[in-house]
């Protein structure tokens, strides 16, 4: 079972994500990032690739898309906050 990130885990896994443009979400234990693309087709293609990984890992993002912008929020609802799954998915999304 997935567990909420410990203080040590947060320091280890969140620091590189925050340095790469992810931000803590105000008012909740979550991280968020806005991805910008050339156009809608590129944004939707990225979302499709991201969705395949989310489904494979059974960990699904909250996201919002308008034209060439995708806003992503990650948190593990089962543990009431951030888990290693959120960090793993954030790293994959950055790599896509």
Residue 72 predicted with pLDDT over 80:
yes
Q: pLDDT band for position 1 (50/70/90)?
A: confident
Beta bridge partners of 66: 69
Superfamily of domain 7-94 in CATH is Transcriptional coactivator/pterin dehydratase (3.30.1360.20)
Average pLDDT, the chain: 96
Spatial distance between the Cα atoms of 51 and 87, rounded to a whole number of angstroms: 16
List the domain boundaries for the chain: 7-94
Instruction: Write out the DSSP string of the chain.
Output: ---BPPHHHHHHHHHHHHHTT-EEPTTSS-EEEEEE-SSHHHHHHHHHHHHHHHHHTT---EEEEETTEEEEEE-BGGGTB-BHHHHHHHHHHHH-
């Amino acid at each position: 079972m997935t567990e909420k990130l410990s203080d040590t885990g947060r320091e280890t896994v969140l620091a590189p994500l925050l340095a790469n443009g992810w931000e803590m979400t105000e008012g909740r234990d979550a991280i968020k990032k806005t991805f910008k693309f050339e156009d809608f087709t590129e944004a939707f293609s990225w979302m499709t690739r991201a969705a395949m990984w989310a489904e494979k890992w059974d960990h699904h993002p909250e996201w919002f898309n308008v034209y060439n912008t995708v806003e992503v929020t990650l948190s593990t609802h089962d543990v009431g906050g951030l888990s290693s799954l959120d960090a793993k998915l954030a790293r994959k999304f950055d790599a896509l």
